Amino acid sequence: MPNDTAPTGAADLALIEAHIRDVPDFPHEGILFKDITPLLNHREALAAAVAGLAAPYRGIGVDHVVGLEARGFIFGAPVAMELGAGFVPARKAGKLPAKTIDQAYDLEYGTATVEIHADAITPGGRVLIVDDVLATGGTGRAAVELVRKAGGTVVGFSVLMELSALQGREKLPDVEPHTLLSV
């Protein structure tokens, strides 16, 4: 259970939100893409985002932070540093060089697979999963199952923003997602 003693303040959330750009019709017509590159280029907004993603998990003993490819890497590594934890990249299939464990998940038109190194999580390790967006929940669910396959315990799922209309939270009934923004 997250420790909510250090919530991100309204000013920090406003700063973060002000640095997320809406890009209509990307990557396909009818999609409103939430572009985080302006946030990444603004040191105060980036620092506020990293602090906000880490805040509820301070002091609860996080051993590893799993960041989901690719934008989860951007936030996951500094969150791991904030929490004094190791960082584990969860990559698309075939991208890691050593022995891996994997978890498949459904996409709108097919399936995909996410992998971590087989030795990345210590047995019983307490793991926080970090990503930029919670959309349909498929990737998040796969990450939870992957951590469990590796012998870890998921202590949280922290994301920059949740696309609440897509109801991804419903695929995570056993993990309470912490989101900075809901759009």
Alpha-carbon dihedral 124, 91, 178, 149, rounded to 10 degrees: -30
Give me the CATH number covering residue 165: 3.40.50.2020
pLDDT at 107: 79
Tokens representing residue 133 in the block: 């967006």
Residue 33: inside a domain: no
Question: Does residue 2 lie within any of the structural domains?
Answer: no
Burial status of residue 29 (CB atoms within 10 A of its CB: 0-12, 13-18, 19 or more): exposed
For residues 120-140, average pLDDT:
96
- Determine, yes or no, domain membership for 11: no
Q: If DSSP codes are grouped into helix, strand and coil, which group holds residue 126?
A: strand
pLDDT at position 109: 75
- What pLDDT was estimated at residue 110? 82
Cis previous bond, 70, omega within 30: yes
Integer Cα distance of 183 and 34 in angstroms: 10
- For residue 166, give the nearest of 139, 128, 129, 142 by alpha carbon: 139
Angle, helices 43-54/71-83, rounded to nearest 10 degrees: 70
23 found inside a domain: no
**Overall number of domains in the chain:** 1
Q: Is residue 34 assigned to a domain?
A: no
Q: Which residues are catalytic?
A: 71, 108
- For residue 177, what are the domain limits? 61-182
Q: Does residue 6 register a pLDDT over 60?
A: no
* pLDDT value, residue 139: 94
Report yes or no on 17 lying in a domain. no
- Compute the average pLDDT of residues 166-171: 94
Average pLDDT over residues 122-151: 96
Is residue 52 a part of any domain in this protein? no
> How far is Cα 158 from Cα 75, in angstroms, rounded to an integer?
10
- Domain membership flag for residue 143: yes
